[in-house]
Structure 1
Amino acid sequence: MVENAIDAGALRIAIKLAAGGTDLIEVSDDGCGMRPDDMALALERHATSKLPDEAIEAVTTLGFRGEALPSIASVAKLTLESRVRGADGWSRVVDNGAVVSEGPAALPPGTRVRVESLFERVPARRKFLRSARAEFAACVDVIRRLAMSRSDVGFTLEHEGRVALSVQAGQDAPQRVAALTDRALRENSVAVDLAREGVRLGGIAGLPTFNRGVADHQYLFVNGRPVKDRLLAGAVRGAYADMLARDRHAVVALFLELPTEEVDVNVHPAKTEVRFRDPQLVRGMIVSGLRRALEAEGQRSAQRPAESALAAWREEPIVQPDLVYAAPVTAAPPPRAPAMLWERRTGFTAPPPAARAEPAFAPLPATVNHPLGVARGQVAKTYIVAEAEDGLVIVDQHAAHERLVLERMRRAMDGGAVARQALLIPEVVELEETACDRLDARAAELAEFGLELERFGPAAMLVRATPAMLGQGDVKGLVADLADELAAFGEALSLREKLDHVAATMACHGSVRAGRVLSVAEMNALLREMEVTPRSGQCNHGRPTWVKLAHGDIERLFGRK
């Protein structure tokens, strides 16, 4: 219905919904309108005015099959009203396939389509509809993508009498995309512009540091048509492959323009999938276009070490799956020692600091007693370098601590509940309305983890308490990522799996970040807890938390063997 309005040349399109669209869908536009005979023809199956000849491969309109309106009219009450400029308006009402009335209608130039009681007389179909919230979220996604594709058209979406989305005509593409996704995207993105062999790629791409937990903010358009194509999505992932963690996803809006004969839009009934005559050209353009745009912003490409050196490194498990957790018994550090701060911030019981880079309060510990060795320093404020009895160990401090926090949270859940820390001043987190709906529906489950949320208007959540073990973390980032997790996994997984995903997301936000300087006491405390924590060999997202280079491997790297 909205695609028809765009094809009619509308500059303003207004959509009204009730009960997520199941009770009411109304689309009004100021386009060219239809005459009474055209209206009758539009409600006939396979009748379309958008194909002037048989060249279906040259179609440039969004709609062209002639199936949508008669299909809708067969399972709902459909009222079609339209007026051509300079003529009177006309109305035609079809109730579940039967014409019940038609006659003059008063309305401004354009067209208004009203659909009521969808599937009311087809209970077998209606019972398979999702909840009103889920259907509303799907409607918002459709309107958002169409609004991105046409920044010259103004869109308004109302749900239950309240405006849920509104954008004005005349915005440039970056401004429109930012208005419909995240306003911070405009300041955290780069422009994409590349032309090759008659194909043009434009749009905006978020910086690698501006990412999402799921790939729901990747918008792709081919000749102005919103698509969800695996080839295009795979090309985006390939372009960001060495810039993002595997569990994070880029934010992009890409507009691909190419001759109509080079793409087939008639592959899928929903017209969301396309087929390219030269898919490798298209994929290569997306990858190179994104990489060029990101490199132009001063991003340096990673220098890869020699393959022989990489092959010498190996991952190694450090605990058996049935290992029972037991906190390490260590001597308390002297007063004012850096370890005291670490214990307060992270919950670790720190052993006496020992290293060659700072004064030690106790003798240097023997490496033979510790599988992960003794900390000798920190590299790039991200990696802990430790000396073990049989080699050199490098630990990713964020990935490792992330796993430890998750296992603590799981133990706390098994013991009854997670301790919470009430916020002195509750924090307001602004999100999309559909994201707030998901969080609101899971508020009771989130409270079991110590996160107390309540609705604060249509598009905001109020955070009253957070899990105590997370410390002073990024509350807004935590809530936004939880909303993403619920969008991706909330419907298909069991309660236990859902809780695991929530716990993993919280643990990520409560862990030691890369870029934080750690004392040797803090590094040793982390190593000791890793040695007694199950599954500490990998982080919550499947990446290794540590790697080891054995003495023999080091000697081979230096040509000693």
Structure 2
Amino acid sequence: MKPPPSIHLLPDLLISQIAAGEVVERPASVLKELLENALDAGSSAIQIQIEEGGVKLIRISDDGCGIARDELALALTRHATSKIASLDDLEHVATLGFRGEALASVASVARLTLTSRQAGANHAWRLVGETGATPEPAALAAGTVVEMRDLYYNTPARRKFLKAEATEFAHCAETVKRIALAHPGVAISLAHNGRTSFQLAKGDAAARAGAILGDDFIAEARRIDTGAGPIRLVGHCSLPAHSRARNDAQYCYVNGRFVRDKLLAHALREAYQDMLHGSRHPAYCLFIEIDPAAVDVNVHPAKTEVRFRDSRAVHQFVFHAVQKALSTPAGRAPAEAIVPLSASTAPTAQAIPSPRPPSPAYSSPSGGGAGNRPRFMRQESLNVSEPAARAYYAFSQAAQEATSTPAPVAAPAPTATEHARTEAMPQASESPQAAQQSPAALPTEEAPLGYALAQLHGIYILAQNRQGLVLVDMHAAHERILYEKLKAALDQRQVPTQALLIPAVFSANAIEVASAEEHSEALHALGFDIAAMGPTQLAVRGTPALLQAADPTELARALLAELAEHGVSQLTTARRNELLATMACHGAVRARRQLAIPEMNALLRQMEATERADQCNHGRPTWTQLSLAELDRLFLRGR
């Protein structure tokens, strides 16, 4: 029988190589550790040279404080650092590096050379890591040069796991970008195989983000700068309409350190919920500033994961800050964001059923199933309040006065048809004060989305504002308005039901009938009145008042399918919102629907008062702007 192995101490080199397995995963890992050391040294300019993807050479030159001659050898020793000295320092660490393992780990798997000169020293000193010799005099103006050559030269098995040169360099370049975004006051240059990849000059955070993520990112992103107690969030997040196919433009930092934290990722994903199209990913560059004592950065070898003491508070803060930035009503800058009017204060027009001639289609209460069911009473026009009509008439009057007759023309009163619209379309959001102003004063007020001119192919609304031409996808815009109204009504448990003049009866299978009976309370909460007419028939007697222009049968079928699959107990916020989005899509005005000019203006005004109205429920844009300058370029005006 073989004797049991004895316990013994591992040699220092092997200990360092074991530690290197956690710290030095690939050339990009080496680059990250060396860059963090350069930044902790207070550098204002850093030059990076890489060869063969970082496997052959990584050289980093900085102008930081430098290392004293007597400390060069100590810098290559494990757990030797100038950044912490006690447990209290560790709990309040504010530097990027603090463990004292990086240089020792790199020196154990590569050929490392340190050259450094402190301010006031007569000359620089160089130390070659593998020889263990004493430092030698060297030439260097200031700062430190760290040179790593032949990564994994002494552990060839690990070298086989590295990818192609282009792949490894791509990881290195991404590492530089992550660090450069957090330090815009440091000039950074990167060269690969003698060719400069990029040079980043000193600047502010917006300029650095534009240089790395593109100027289009800054142009189409919302600025965030908010705080609550000991936490602050600063940065930019892209609008949902400018999302990306991959999540390669998501940068999140905690106290200047790039992190991939599941809690923060979830908060940001929830903030973009029901605003992204398909499998698109948002782009953002966000910096969280928090008391170092409230976050633990010593939970991962690569320091890319953190742990917050009050994780729920951080999650909710980030979620609400980003959601608020994305919720600015359409056409307004974040600083101009307005709060949507509540049901109690919003001006509304009294809805009066429009007179309709008798029709055989509405005369017979008896009807069969889906094929010959009686048609339900539905208005074909949209809701317009008096303020919306007056605003439009005043605008058109002012335009006529500017081009022709100076005599004032009274705004025509709304017709009976315009006054008696149903709730199929949202009310306009002009205030009573605006409605009481003189017609001449109204056009001078800024309307972010302007005033309607016409419809294009029954799909788009063409409007004119001070900047130029506005194009609106009327279905997408109305869908968002209905969706936000449904969410607000359901949250307040005030989803009004509109009874149908004649119930819509349709054929249903056994599962649909059972679901209607089982979830009758949930259906009433959502504004539906659905009853069984027999073992194979259901009747829709009422639908949500906001959706009365929709086909009740389609709405009922979609709703019952969701309830049958998920049940009420699984209707979480996300699932509930998906259901409401489906309802809003069915209820929104359809393409090829002809709208009157006042109806178009009512839609524009409601868009301006609705949060997240820049995108529909699926993340598609609802409107776009063509400036006069862009139109002039199209027609070569001024050339």
Per the normalisation by structure 2, the TM-score is: 0.48
Once the two structures are TM-superposed, the CA of residue 42 in structure 1 deviates from its matched residue by 0.6
> Which of 187, 191, 196 is the equivalent residue of 1:154?
187
User: Does residue 189 of structure 1 match 2:221?
Assistant: yes
User: Does residue 4 of structure 1 match 2:185?
Assistant: no
Query: 1:68 is matched by which residue type in structure 2?
Result: A
Alignment of 1:450-465 (within 5 A): none
Query: 2:118 is matched by which residue type in structure 1?
Result: V
> Which of 149, 156, 177 is the equivalent residue of 1:123?
156
Partner of 1:73: 107
> Which of 53, 61, 79 is the equivalent residue of 2:95?
61
| 8 Å CA contact 1:13, 1:29 repeated in 2 | yes
Alignment of 1:84-233 (within 5 A): 84-87=118-121, 88-95=123-130, 98-99=131-132, 102-169=135-202, 171-233=203-265
Secondary structure of the corresponding residue to residue 164 of structure 1: strand
Q: Provide the alpha-carbon RMSD of the alignment.
A: 3.1
> Which of 271, 276, 279 is the equivalent residue of 2:303?
271
1:5/1:387 CA distance change after superposition, 3 Å: same
Q: Tell me how far apart the structure 1 counterparts of residues 139 and 198 of structure 2 sit (CA, whole Å).
A: 27
1:517/1:26 CA distance change after superposition, 3 Å: farther
> Which of 284, 288, 311 is the equivalent residue of 2:320?
288
Query: 1:61 is matched by which residue type in structure 2?
Result: T
User: Does residue 45 of structure 1 match 2:78?
Assistant: yes
Alignment of 1:341-360 (within 5 A): none
Partner of 2:484: 303
Query: 2:243 is matched by which residue type in structure 1?
Result: N
| 8 Å CA contact 1:386, 1:394 repeated in 2 | no
Greater Cα offset, 171-180 or 8-17 = 171-180
Secondary structure of the corresponding residue to residue 2 of structure 1: helix
Summarize deviations over 1:209-249 as a string: whole Å, max 9, x none. Answer: 11111212110110111111111111111100021124011
> Which of 282, 289, 313 is the equivalent residue of 1:257?
289
1:222/1:92 CA distance change after superposition, 3 Å: same
| 8 Å CA contact 2:47, 2:188 repeated in 1 | yes
Q: Tell me how far apart the structure 1 counterparts of residues 84 and 125 of structure 2 sit (CA, whole Å).
A: 24
Summarize deviations over 1:8-48 as a string: whole Å, max 9, x none. Answer: 00000111111110010001100000111121111001111
| 8 Å CA contact 1:94, 1:101 repeated in 2 | no
Once the two structures are TM-superposed, the CA of residue 101 in structure 1 deviates from its matched residue by 6.4
Query: 1:73 is matched by which residue type in structure 2?
Result: A
Summarize deviations over 1:143-168 as a string: whole Å, max 9, x none. Answer: 10100111111110111111112211
Structure 1 segments (4+ residues) deviating >3 Å: 296-302, 304-310, 385-388, 390-395, 515-519
Summarize deviations over 1:254-283 as a string: whole Å, max 9, x none. Answer: 100011110000010100000000111111
| 8 Å CA contact 1:190, 1:207 repeated in 2 | yes
User: Does residue 28 of structure 1 match 2:61?
Assistant: yes
Q: Could you list the runs of 5+ residues in structure 1 that have no partner in the other structure?
A: 317-384, 396-514, 520-542, 544-561
Q: Could you list the runs of 5+ residues in structure 2 that have no partner in the other structure?
A: 1-33, 332-479, 498-503, 509-548, 559-588, 594-617, 619-639
1:517/1:16 CA distance change after superposition, 3 Å: farther
User: Does residue 243 of structure 1 match 2:278?
Assistant: no
Summarize deviations over 1:447-499 as a string: whole Å, max 9, x none. Answer: xxxxxxxxxxxxxxxxxxxxxxxxxxxxxxxxxxxxxxxxxxxxxxxxxxxxx
| 8 Å CA contact 1:194, 1:201 repeated in 2 | yes
Give the count of matched residue pairs. 327
Once the two structures are TM-superposed, the CA of residue 100 in structure 1 deviates from its matched residue by 5.3
| 8 Å CA contact 2:72, 2:135 repeated in 1 | no
Secondary structure of the corresponding residue to residue 249 of structure 1: coil
Secondary structure of the corresponding residue to residue 282 of structure 1: helix
| 8 Å CA contact 1:46, 1:67 repeated in 2 | yes
Alignment of 1:428-443 (within 5 A): none
Q: Tell me how far apart the structure 1 counterparts of residues 57 and 591 of structure 2 sit (CA, whole Å).
A: 57
| 8 Å CA contact 2:226, 2:232 repeated in 1 | yes
| 8 Å CA contact 1:20, 1:134 repeated in 2 | yes
Q: Tell me how far apart the structure 2 counterparts of residues 16 and 158 of structure 1 sit (CA, whole Å).
A: 5
| 8 Å CA contact 1:194, 1:285 repeated in 2 | no
1:45/1:110 CA distance change after superposition, 3 Å: same
1:93/1:280 CA distance change after superposition, 3 Å: same
Query: 2:312 is matched by which residue type in structure 1?
Result: Q
| 8 Å CA contact 2:60, 2:147 repeated in 1 | yes
Q: Tell me how far apart the structure 2 counterparts of residues 167 and 257 of structure 1 sit (CA, whole Å).
A: 24
Alignment of 1:522-561 (within 5 A): none
Once the two structures are TM-superposed, the CA of residue 392 in structure 1 deviates from its matched residue by 8.0
| 8 Å CA contact 1:208, 1:244 repeated in 2 | yes
Once the two structures are TM-superposed, the CA of residue 53 in structure 1 deviates from its matched residue by 3.1
| 8 Å CA contact 1:24, 1:117 repeated in 2 | yes
Summarize deviations over 1:404-423 as a string: whole Å, max 9, x none. Answer: xxxxxxxxxxxxxxxxxxxx
Q: Tell me how far apart the structure 1 counterparts of residues 71 and 280 of structure 2 sit (CA, whole Å).
A: 49
1:297/1:144 CA distance change after superposition, 3 Å: farther
Once the two structures are TM-superposed, the CA of residue 304 in structure 1 deviates from its matched residue by 5.2
Once the two structures are TM-superposed, the CA of residue 518 in structure 1 deviates from its matched residue by 8.0
Query: 1:303 is matched by which residue type in structure 2?
Result: E
Secondary structure of the corresponding residue to residue 254 of structure 1: strand
- Larger radius of gyration between Structure 1 and Structure 2: 2
Query: 1:94 is matched by which residue type in structure 2?
Result: G
Q: Tell me how far apart the structure 1 counterparts of residues 155 and 116 of structure 2 sit (CA, whole Å).
A: 28
Q: Tell me how far apart the structure 1 counterparts of residues 206 and 496 of structure 2 sit (CA, whole Å).
A: 43
Q: Tell me how far apart the structure 2 counterparts of residues 213 and 394 of structure 1 sit (CA, whole Å).
A: 33
Query: 2:71 is matched by which residue type in structure 1?
Result: D
Q: Tell me how far apart the structure 2 counterparts of residues 263 and 111 of structure 1 sit (CA, whole Å).
A: 31
Structure with greater strand share of residues: 1
Secondary structure of the corresponding residue to residue 318 of structure 2: helix
1:251/1:394 CA distance change after superposition, 3 Å: farther
Secondary structure of the corresponding residue to residue 237 of structure 2: strand
Once the two structures are TM-superposed, the CA of residue 296 in structure 1 deviates from its matched residue by 3.2
Instruction: Percent identity, please.
Output: 43
